[in-house]
């Protein structure tokens, strides 16, 4: 009996040693235990979702004003500018009017932002691994071009995953009190579009959206991360404290990144919104001109939408709503980046998007 007890003890000891050895090997290879990996993913997704919700709600009135300017009938101008438009909405629809469509926007942007930030982290890891393998330099870091590629990948994944919500959000935002038919909410709008226009309608404008998201999201991440790296390494303006940038400096980096990205990609955003209105027989009076001089909403595709918009309204029509969008993007992108990093710090997530 004594010998059997000794054997069992020895067997348990050997098993323990083997397990410890395996855990040590995994640790050396940088592999996390499954439970830790799942928790880390959840924290990263949560941080991205919070960042998206906070940043978009902060600029919701400007977001609605931008969309109204993008799609309004050129023969019946109701909104002559950002300030006038916001005043008109306040007078006719009140405070709720300024935030119309924000619930749908948040329902879309929270998962979109979560997927986007997480996808960027994973794409960055994958691209950096391949880059190090190709160059043979284990200390190599992501270049601005590689960050652009990682950001573009993240943008395409996030946009495609949540596009139906974006399409519905555009219609909910455009409808006014005078619209002949009212969508009662997200679910009602989705079911109505599916029933009356078919499932393909939920992806109208997807192509220009994907083409636009490549430079937009790609440049956002590339410019933001490259600016941060440059400021930390060279410290040209004395803004670094304890090898970290202040919140104000990070907000400024985010604002610059957002401005560059949205200026380049903006015409595609205008075309996307207009294509999303195609097939909506009860489109808002903002689009149809309240029955007077109705402009055609029929486009055969992205190129046709570009051609008709420029032919009938001029090249400047591709930048309608740019002013409220610029005012919106500066704080929105900045708040999103900084909120994301701060939430991850609070949650104790080690990986940073600049790694």
DSSP 254-265: HHHHHHHHHHHH
In this structure, what DSSP letter does residue 281 have? Answer: T
DSSP 206-236: HHHHHHHHHHHHHHHHHHHHHHHHHHHHH-T
**Rounded Cα distance, 330 and 324, in Å:** 10
Q: Which CATH superfamily is domain 11-347 in?
A: Mitochondrial carrier domain (1.50.40.10)
- pLDDT at 15 (0 to 100): 54
CB 174 within 8 A of CB 284: yes
Q: Which residue pairs from 90-96 have beta carbons closer than 8 angstroms and sit at least 24 positions apart in sequence?
A: 92/176, 92/177, 93/176, 93/177
- pLDDT at 53 (0 to 100): 92
Average of per-residue pLDDT values in the chain: 81
- pLDDT at 12 (0 to 100): 52
The 10s digit of each residue's pLDDT in 122-176 is 999 999 999 999 999 988 989 999 999 999 999 999 999 889 988 887 788 777 7
CB 174 within 8 A of CB 283: yes
The 10s digit of each residue's pLDDT in 109-135 is 899 999 999 999 999 999 999 999 999
State which residues of the chain have pLDDT below 70: 1-36, 177-181, 279-297, 349-355
- pLDDT at 234 (0 to 100): 84
pTM of the model: 0.71
* Non-local CB neighbours of 262 within 8 Å, separated by 6+ positions: 216, 269, 325, 326, 329
Residue of 207, 322, 191 lying closest to 276 (CA atoms): 207
At residue 245, the 3 state secondary structure works out as strand
Structure tokens at 121: 């982290």
Residue of 178, 181, 172 lying closest to 101 (CA atoms): 172
């Amino acid at each position: 009996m004594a010998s059997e007890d000794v054997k069992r003890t020895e067997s348990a000891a050997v098993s323990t040693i083997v397990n410890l050895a395996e855990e040590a090997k995994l640790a050396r290879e940088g592999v996390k235990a499954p439970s830790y990996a799942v928790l880390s993913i959840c924290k990263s997704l949560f941080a991205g979702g919070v960042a998206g919700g906070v940043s978009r709600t902060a600029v919701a009135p400007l977001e609605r004003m931008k969309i109204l300017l993008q799609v309004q009938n050129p023969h019946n101008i109701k909104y002559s500018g950002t300030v006038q438009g916001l005043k008109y909405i306040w007078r006719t629809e009140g405070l709720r009017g300024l935030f119309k469509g924000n619930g749908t926007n948040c329902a879309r942007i929270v998962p979109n932002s979560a997927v986007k930030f997480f996808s960027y982290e994973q794409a960055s890891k994958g691209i950096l691994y391949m880059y190090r393998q190709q160059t043979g330099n284990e200390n190599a870091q992501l270049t601005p071009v590689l960050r652009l590629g990682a950001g573009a990948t993240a943008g395409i994944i996030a946009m495609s995953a949540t596009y139906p919500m974006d399409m519905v959000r555009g219609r909910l935002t455009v409808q006014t009190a005078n619209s002949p038919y009212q969508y009662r909410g997200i679910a009602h709008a989705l079911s109505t579009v599916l029933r009356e226009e078919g499932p393909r309608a939920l992806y109208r404008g997807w192509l220009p959206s994907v083409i636009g998201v490549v430079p937009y999201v790609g440049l956002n991440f590339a410019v933001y991360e490259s600016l941060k790296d440059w400021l930390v390494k060279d410290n040209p303006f004395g803004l670094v404290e304890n090898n970290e940038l202040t919140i104000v400096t990070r907000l400024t980096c985010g604002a610059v990144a957002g401005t560059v990205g949205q200026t380049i990609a903006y015409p595609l955003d205008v075309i996307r919104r207009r294509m999303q209105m195609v097939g909506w027989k009860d489109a808002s009076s903002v689009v149809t001109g309240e029955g007077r001089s109705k402009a055609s909403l029929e486009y055969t595709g992205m190129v046709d939408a570009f051609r008709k918009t420029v032919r009938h309204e001029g090249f400047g029509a591709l930048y309608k709503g740019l002013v409220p969008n610029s005012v919106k993007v500066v704080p929105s992108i900045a708040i999103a980046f900084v909120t994301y990093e701060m939430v991850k710090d609070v949650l104790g997530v080690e990986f940073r998007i600049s790694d």
